[in-house]
């Protein structure tokens, strides 16, 4: 078995040796099997790499993501070569077990686990949970015993896939640990729904033992305590039911200084006064409200027709029980919100259940949380403040119930990387997400990257806003202005609005305003006359960690050309592996573009023009 030292790199060539399906188990100890043979890697690092590829099966996982998962923020210099060797060893193990080496496919800068070769237990769990949820909430079969029994069977089968804590035998870095937490939350959701369904089937007395175990395992989970109280009361054990409430109240008071939720307090009061109405409440049903929250459409949307057509086709095509999701990704000012709102307005007639729009461009990093997002979604659907569930899990369940019929269009505009979007999405309705970061972990999502305009697209938009005759009269100057703004739609729109608001101003005069003494005007200065890109880039900058911010500070001198990882490592006076991780994060944040490879095969990067100017300004201010 290899160590982490740099060694000769074996070939990445894929060899076709069969198509034996492999079973990947994540819901407990990580395990891999084929044809009844356990082929789980023994070395810890191989197991970690394969687990990371498995949870993102079908997606490209960058080499830097693997490095960060194994070694964190301080990888050795030999990390990249070691990862290459580990992948080779996994392929060799697969080949010797008859699976073929096409299980792991090499991609630019990373690797993909072929989902066509893989049976993944956590994806089967999600399918069964979705089927159980849909059946339990189906208003057309509301409350029928056969529907409830069918739902219970789906949910029981889903929970039977679990064999313990997820990835229990894997040394988890940040990505795997986050995914394990998400899986545990999905497991709790499935448990809660299955218990609710079984209560409605009259199985309460049979659930008492299981519920007592769950309330010990999750001592502050109010819903499990509530169901246990109802099960005990329904079995004629009212005093024990009240004891459950007293114990929970004591724990919450001592640990958090909190009282149980109003819902639980009402149940306790009903038990104290002998009110027999403690059957489980029906699932949340749709309020009569059908929100229409979309901002006005932009009349001069141009240059994005292919993207608009692609999104419209995808969002209106049949997708079974899964709602279609489109993720728009790109740098600040590239026009993500404009496209998202334009598409949503065009598709509004297809979604009579409502169109919900949430602007998540908060000004302070981390100020938007899963709870605030879900609260906004439920209020949009007519849920009163007093009726909002108390936990994130309950909010997710209520939101999915309210959007079950799939006739709702959701637009999440400006999602930040710390918001766990995948766990918040509804099961059925269509969703458009915009973000400056790529959205990982959303199974089946259509991902689209928006770039700056080319010259013709930019000139078309400028002419629509400022007038075509005016632009034709000074075409060369107009093209120079567009180039100064890097073809960024936000910049082109700013130029057009400056011209349209000052009919007597020539483009040459505007050029003089934009350029002083041969240098670009400072972005901060332009912000005072309506071009707010600096504020938008500041918001992205605040989401970066210390090493990434330091890198931005040294990138200014590279703004007019291309650069490599080694160039950045030298400028930061740090190791190449750290520069690789930092640049990967900056590419994700849309602050740096990956533009190819040099003669040694190392990645080559470039700065968007205005990001280069922004980096230079920060360095000159000493930020």
CATH code of residue 403: 3.40.50.300
Q: Looking at residue 611, what DSSP letter applies?
A: H
Query: What distance in Å separates the CA atoms of residue 222 and residue 621, rounded to the nearest whole number?
Result: 52
> Do 248 and 383 reside in the same domain of the chain?
no
List, for residues 539-570, the tens digit of each pLDDT value: 889 889 899 999 998 998 888 889 999 999 99
Domain boundary among the residues 169, 186, 203 is at 186
Residue 310 lies in a domain: yes
Residue 267 lies in a domain: yes
pLDDT score of 368: 65
Q: In a 3-state reduction of DSSP, which class is residue 520? A: strand
Domain boundary among the residues 532, 562, 595 is at 532
Q: In Å, how far from its chain's centre is CA 466? A: 38
Residue 297 lies in a domain: no
> Do 440 and 327 reside in the same domain of the chain?
yes
Work out whether strand 325-329 and strand 408-413 pair parallel, antiparallel, or are unpaired: unpaired
Q: Looking at residue 303, what DSSP letter applies?
A: S
Query: What distance in Å separates the CA atoms of residue 370 and residue 575, rounded to the nearest whole number?
Result: 36
Query: What distance in Å separates the CA atoms of residue 40 and residue 570, rounded to the nearest whole number?
Result: 40
> Do 471 and 336 reside in the same domain of the chain?
no
List, for residues 232-246, the tens digit of each pLDDT value: 998 889 999 999 999
List, for residues 263-276, the tens digit of each pLDDT value: 888 889 888 887 66
Residue 284 has pLDDT above 60, yes or no: no
> Do 144 and 63 reside in the same domain of the chain?
no
Residue 277 lies in a domain: no
Query: What distance in Å separates the CA atoms of residue 437 and residue 442, rounded to the nearest whole number?
Result: 13
Residue 112 has pLDDT above 50, yes or no: yes
Residue 291 lies in a domain: no
Residue 170 CB partners (closer than 8 Å, separation 6+): 30, 44, 47, 48, 51, 176
> Do 408 and 460 reside in the same domain of the chain?
no
Residue 614 lies in a domain: yes
pLDDT-derived band of residue 162, with 50, 70 and 90 as boundaries?
very high
Domain boundary among the residues 230, 247, 272 is at 272
What's the domain count of the chain? 5
> Do 179 and 194 reside in the same domain of the chain?
no
Residue 75 CB partners (closer than 8 Å, separation 6+): 67, 68, 575, 577, 578, 581
> Do 40 and 176 reside in the same domain of the chain?
yes
**Mean pLDDT over each residue of the chain, to the nearest integer:** 83
pLDDT score of 373: 79
Residue 503 lies in a domain: yes
> Do 317 and 355 reside in the same domain of the chain?
yes
Residue 390 has pLDDT above 80, yes or no: no
Residue 317 lies in a domain: yes
Residues forming beta bridges with residue 104, ordered by sequence position = 113
Residue 100 has pLDDT above 80, yes or no: no
| CATH number of the domain residue 600 falls in | 1.10.10.10
pLDDT score of 406: 57
> Do 80 and 179 reside in the same domain of the chain?
yes
Q: What residues make up the domain containing 432?
A: 305-449
For 207-211, 319-323, 541-545, 607-611, which range has the lowest pLDDT when averaged over its residues? Answer: 319-323
Residue 9 has pLDDT above 80, yes or no: no
- For residues 495 and 510, the answer to whether their CB atoms sit within 8 Å is yes
pLDDT score of 59: 80
DSSP character string of 131-153: HHHHHHH-GGGTT-HHHHHHHHH
> Do 418 and 511 reside in the same domain of the chain?
no
List, for residues 312-367, the tens digit of each pLDDT value: 988 988 766 567 899 999 999 999 999 999 999 999 888 888 888 988 886 454 55
> Do 60 and 162 reside in the same domain of the chain?
yes
pLDDT score of 10: 36
> Do 178 and 208 reside in the same domain of the chain?
no
């Amino acid at each position: 078995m290899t160590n982490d030292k740099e060694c000769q790199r074996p070939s990445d060539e894929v060899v076709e040796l069969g198509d034996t399906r492999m079973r990947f188990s994540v819901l407990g100890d990580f395990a891999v099997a084929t044809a009844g043979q356990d082929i789980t890697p023994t070395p810890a690092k191989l197991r970690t790499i394969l687990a990371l590829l498995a949870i993102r099966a079908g997606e490209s996982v960058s080499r830097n993501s693997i490095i960060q998962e194994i070694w964190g923020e301080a990888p050795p210099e030999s990390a990249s070569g070691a990862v290459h060797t580990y992948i080779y060893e996994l392929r060799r193990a697969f080949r010797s077990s008859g699976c073929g080496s096409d299980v792991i496919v090499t991609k630019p800068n990373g690797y993909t686990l072929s989902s066509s070769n893989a049976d993944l237990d956590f994806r089967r769990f999600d399918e069964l949970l979705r089927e159980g949820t849909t059946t339990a909430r189906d208003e057309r079969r509301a409350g029928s015993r056969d529907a409830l029994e069918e739902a219970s069977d789906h949910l029981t089968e889903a929970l039977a896939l679990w064999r313990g804590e997820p990835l229990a035998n894997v040394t988890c870095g940040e990505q795997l640990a986050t995914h394990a937490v998400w899986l545990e939350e999905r497991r709790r959701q499935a448990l809660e729904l299955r218990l609710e369904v079984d209560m409605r089937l009259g199985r309460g007395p049979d659930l008492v033992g299981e519920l007592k175990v769950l309330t010990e395992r999750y001592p502050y989970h109010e819903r499990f305590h509530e169901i246990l109280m109802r099960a005990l009361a329904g079995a004629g054990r009212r005093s024990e039911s009240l004891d459950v409430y007293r114990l929970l109240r004591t724990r919450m008071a001592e640990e958090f200084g909190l009282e149980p939720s109003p819902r639980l307090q009402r149940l306790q009061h009903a038990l104290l006064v002998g009110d027999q109405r403690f059957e489980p409440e029906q699932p949340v049903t749709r309020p009569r409200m059908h929100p229409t929250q979309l901002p006005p459409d932009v009349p001069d949307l141009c240059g994005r027709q292919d993207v608009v057509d692609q999104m419209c086709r995808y969002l209106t095509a049949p997708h079974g029980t899964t709602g279609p999701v489109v993720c728009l990704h790109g740098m600040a000012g590239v026009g993500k919100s404009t496209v998202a709102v334009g598409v949503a307005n065009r598709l509004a007639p297809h979604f009579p259940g409502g169109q919900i729009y949430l602007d998540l461009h908060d000004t302070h990093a981390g100020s938007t949380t899963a709870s605030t997002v879900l609260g906004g979604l439920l209020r949009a659907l007519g849920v009163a403040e007093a009726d909002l569930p108390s936990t994130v899990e309950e909010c997710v369940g209520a939101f999915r119930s309210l959007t079950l019929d799939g006739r709702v269009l959701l637009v999440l505009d400006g999602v930040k990387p710390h918001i766990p979007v995948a766990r918040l999405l509804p099961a059925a309705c269509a969703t458009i997400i915009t973000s400056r970061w790529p959205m990982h972990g959303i199974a089946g999502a259509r991902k689209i990257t928006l770039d700056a305009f080319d010259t013709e697209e930019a000139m078309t938009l400028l002419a629509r806003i400022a007038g075509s005759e005016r632009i034709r009269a000074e075409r060369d100057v107009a093209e120079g202005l567009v180039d100064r703004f890097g073809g960024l739609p936000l910049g082109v729109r700013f130029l057009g609005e400056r011209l349209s608001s000052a009919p007597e101003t020539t483009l040459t005069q505007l050029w003089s305003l934009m350029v002083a003494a041969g240098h670009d005007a400072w972005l901060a200065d332009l912000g005072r006359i309506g071009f707010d890109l600096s504020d938008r880039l500041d918001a992205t900058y605040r989401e970066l960690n210390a090493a990434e911010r330091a890198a931005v500070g040294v990138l200014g001198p590279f703004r007019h050309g291309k650069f490599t990882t080694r160039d950045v490592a030298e400028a930061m006076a740090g190791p190449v592996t750290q520069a690789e991780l930092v640049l990967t994060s900056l590419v994700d944040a849309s602050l740096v573009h990956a533009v190819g490879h040099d003669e040694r095969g190392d990645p080559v990067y470039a700065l968007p023009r205005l990001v280069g100017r922004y980096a230079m300004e920060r360095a000159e201010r000493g930020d």
